[in-house]
Structure 1
Amino acid sequence: MKFLAITTALVLCILSTASVAADGTEGSAWGYKRNDPSMASPEQWSEHYPTGDCTDYNLTQSSESFKDTVNSGSCAVSANNATYNMLQFHLHAPLEHTLNGEHLDGEVHFVHSNTDGSTLLVVGVFFKAVDGGGTDPWVASVLDALDTVSMNATVGMSTTSYADAINAAADANGVFNYAGSLTTPACSEIVDWWVVKQPVKLSVTDLGRLQSQLKELPVTDDGKNACPVHPLNGRVVTAYA
């Protein structure tokens, strides 16, 4: 999709205002009683269910991509008066969007779902290879984990905060929003897309690492696992700066 700036706004911090909190599934039993030692009272909830960053994942290799599902805790993002919980993120190369007509080198999709799974919110962040430049620390940690995973082995991995990675890029240059679909079959039209304008950087060497890993997947086209860009077909893309 070629993005068109239809509407602009002064600093709408979509993701920096999103709540990112630990679910606390590993915490103590909770309740509203102040004097019952079997449960955490409201004054104690913050001790047992602290704010989290969703830094721990289980990395798996499928036939078309690498997928990281959240391992303990829960991160939520709020947009358009709705809340979505983080499910997983996965990688595509090259880009599944175009930015001003340009195809960049890759993209990560952070997939969030509403309570009943009827609607998804996906945050897309672009990768841009820079000759002689360094790789974003979050991206580097993911690429390191790819070296250890296989079709038969799930790998636990830890990264820096995904919210920090998104917010740093979004704060720099804003986001696009549009109503769309999944980019893999069944291509369900249930996605609220938020695409960060500012690419995160990776070195040319690390781009090669990613492409080499993707080449090992059965359904990729010589390491490419990107859906072709589709026309707008009357959809409105809103730009927030």
Structure 2
Amino acid sequence: MTDAANRFANRRSAGHTLAEAVAKLDVEDPLILALPRGGVPVAFEVARRLDAPLDILLVRKIGAPGHEEYGIGALVDGSNPQVVIDEAVARMVGADADYINREVERQLKELERRRAAYRTVPPISPTGRNVILVDDGIATGGTVKVALQALRKSAAARIILAVPVAPRSALQALRSMCDEIVCLLAPEPFYAVGAHYLDFDQTSDSEVVQLLATANRARKGQ
């Protein structure tokens, strides 16, 4: 699973180990949803192990002014894109309504770009499905939070969050938003997701497209 320092070799390796843990839940007819881009290589291994369809859930973080990695909320794709803002954090970092509106518009454009780049087949509806939401790890949990809210709104039958690594505080905050959580590592103190991977190079758009296409071909070939 990991080396002596509790680090995964890469996302695919983490996905392989995560898949074994998720398989023990014996979920009936699951739908695997990945958060791109980093969640796709992890989710690919889960989908392959469970012989399940793989799709993506496009979510973009709304970052703080001058510190884009510090999330104050998130935007999730859909027929009516949803925006979730942590108002208290937004006030604390000086993100006023004008700033938030500008960031939402900017992230909407990125969602449109990614939708055009990644979608080779129509999206799979999560309504009535047992959904397993996968990412390569959780830091603050802001992006995952809005994704889980979107899945609840879509009337998924069961929602399972599966990640290789996350801080205990984030897992506790997200526990009430899903039916079950599978997490391989919850180290304390928690510094960063990438600190628990030997190889944490950025996942490219082309890799996302290739993995989604491979998963789709495998399902069609059955």
Whether these two folds match at TM > 0.5 is no
TM-score of the two chains, using structure 2 as the length reference = 0.26
The higher radius of gyration belongs to 1
Larger strand proportion, structure 1 or 2?
1
Q: When you count helix as a share of all residues, which structure comes out higher?
A: 2
TM-score, reference length from structure 1:
0.24
